[in-house]
Amino acid sequence: MKFLLDLFDKLCKESIKYSIMRNYVDLPKSTGGSDIDVWVAKEHLEKFYTILMKCAEENHGKIVSYINKLYEPKTCIMGIDWGVQFDVYKDIVPIGNCKFFTGDAIWKHTILYNGVQVLDSKWEAVESFLKEVLNTRHCNRKEKFYIDASLAIKSMSFEELKDGLNLFSDEYIRLLKKVGEEKKNDSLINDIYKYGIQQLRIKNKFEISCHLAKFHRLFKRPGYFVVVLGTDGSGKSTIIDHITPILEGAFHHGIHYEHLRPNLIPDIGILFGKRQKEKIEVSPHPHDVKVSGFLGSLCKFLYYLQDYIWGYLFKILPSIALYSHVYILDRYYYDYYIDQKRAKILLPKWIIKIGEFFVPKPDIIICLGGNPDVIYKRKPETSLEEVRKQTTQLKKFAETKNNSVWIDTTVDVKISINKTMEAIQEMMSKRFSK
């Protein structure tokens, strides 16, 4: 990735005091599918961010999300075909609101790896293990952490551990030494958590600003709700499949996908026992279905309307309001305007408009279409006339929404993907332009 190569080259030339804490094997060519956890010395923070933003700009990247935290702000940067998330440790590494690993200890154990300054493998293993245990109270999520830490601690003396973990007592270091001597067991993990947190809280002042910052996110959300609309054959799956890895790079482990609805409440078929489990079923002939009468259509519409409302409030909003996450919905409520028959309903547009008043609005609506003849040849599941009608309706719909963009997907697929990413990047970056 050219952005990373440029970044680490400039950091080296400017003699910036930094250290990549973990997952650096593929650097500087690639993140290897990980985010970048980087410690930066306090006196070099401003210069580090200046270089970071300069490299992003030179590689056509922009900030698309930012979470301001006391010790480790999160910055998501995205280009047209790349994305990287940075967790920047400002001088120290925290556990919750407590100082845990000091800058002096980190810099003392920083080495050069492929032209990148990184924390040496022994301390990487110890730091990763302790962060996992002290943050989660167990080490089940990543079993490898205990194995790596056990080998590292076994090779380290008491004095070496004490020098690096100088916020902890001698008794705690002796407890930690058992990791190098014993097989993993719940009792040892629990003691490491309990006494570690206890000592950190005694030595650190509680920072209320960390909690207040979470409320601030509600007014400037770090996450996004993206809807992709289009008739069958318009390329929804192709576009989603290509943009998801790029978004995943910028929003590490933060991409969620749903079909049609938030799916907080079950499908009516499951509710009445017609299907045994929740499963996305795409009919090869979506219009060869029996449409409900007015009363049946209204009941079905009102039932699913609850999912759009409460599914957003209880499933989507908590995720995008507090975290750098992206929810992608393939189709959405607006599909009622374009293709009611697919949903097996038939209602007048005024009812759909009333319902829309209660439905949460996405941050970005990607409307896919183009030449109806090309779209129909891709998927002749309905009729050419129906494809023409839906494409025309969708384009008119896109023109009425200021958060929507029309993408012609009947041209070269690479052009369509790039235009989609350009639109997403532009819309997301507006929120963090300052």
Res 152 pLDDT > 70? yes
Could you tell me if 173 and 266 lie in one domain?
A: no
Give me the DSSP letters along 170-214.
Answer: HHHHHHHHGGGTS---HHHHHHHHHHHHHHHHHHS---HHHHHHH
pLDDT of residue 282: 56
Domain of residue 19 covers 2-213
Could you tell me if 127 and 262 lie in one domain?
A: no
Could you tell me if 294 and 414 lie in one domain?
A: yes
Instruction: Give the Cα separation of 216 and 219 in Å (integer).
Output: 6
Could you tell me if 279 and 342 lie in one domain?
A: yes
Q: Which pair of structure tokens corresponds to residue 234?
A: 């318009």
Per the CB < 8 A criterion, the answer to whether 382 and 286 are in contact is yes
Task: Go through 384-416 and write b for each residue having 16 or more CB atoms within 10 A of its CB, e for each that does not.
Answer: eebbbbbbeebeebbeeeeebbbbbbbeeeeeb
Q: What is the pLDDT of residues 161-199, one digit of tens each?
A: 999 998 899 999 999 999 999 888 889 999 999 998 888
Place of tokens 């017609």: 274
Q: Considering the chain, what percentage of its residues have pLDDT values greater than 90?
A: 73
Could you tell me if 171 and 120 lie in one domain?
A: yes
Q: What is the pLDDT of residues 197-246, one digit of tens each?
A: 888 887 665 444 455 556 666 667 999 999 999 999 999 999 999 999 99
Could you tell me if 182 and 247 lie in one domain?
A: no
* Parallel, antiparallel or unpaired: strands 93-95 and 404-408: unpaired
Q: What's the Cα-to-Cα distance from 429 to each of 75, 79, 83, 144, 251, rounded to whole Å? A: 12, 11, 13, 37, 13
pTM listed for this prediction = 0.89
Q: What is the mean pLDDT of the chain?
A: 90
Could you tell me if 249 and 177 lie in one domain?
A: no
pLDDT of residue 212: 55
CATH at residue 184 = 3.30.460
Give me the DSSP letters along 193-205.
Answer: HHHHHHHHHHHS-
* Range in 275-289, 365-379, 402-416 the model is least confident about: 275-289
Could you tell me if 192 and 312 lie in one domain?
A: no
Could you tell me if 254 and 159 lie in one domain?
A: no
Give the residue-averaged pLDDT of 137-157: 87
Could you tell me if 281 and 412 lie in one domain?
A: yes
Angle between helix 2-13 and 45-58 (nearest 10): 140
Could you tell me if 204 and 292 lie in one domain?
A: no
pLDDT of residue 357: 95
The total number of structural domains that make up the chain: 2
Helices (H), 324-383: 335-338, 349-358, 372-378
Q: What is the pLDDT of residues 87-97, one digit of tens each?
A: 999 988 888 77
CB count within 10 Å of CB 255 equals 19
Res 342 pLDDT > 90? no
Q: Which of 191, 213, 235 is the last residue of a domain?
A: 213
Q: Which of 188, 213, 238 is the last residue of a domain?
A: 213
Could you tell me if 252 and 332 lie in one domain?
A: yes
Q: Which of 158, 186, 213 is the last residue of a domain?
A: 213
CATH at residue 402 = 3.40.50.300
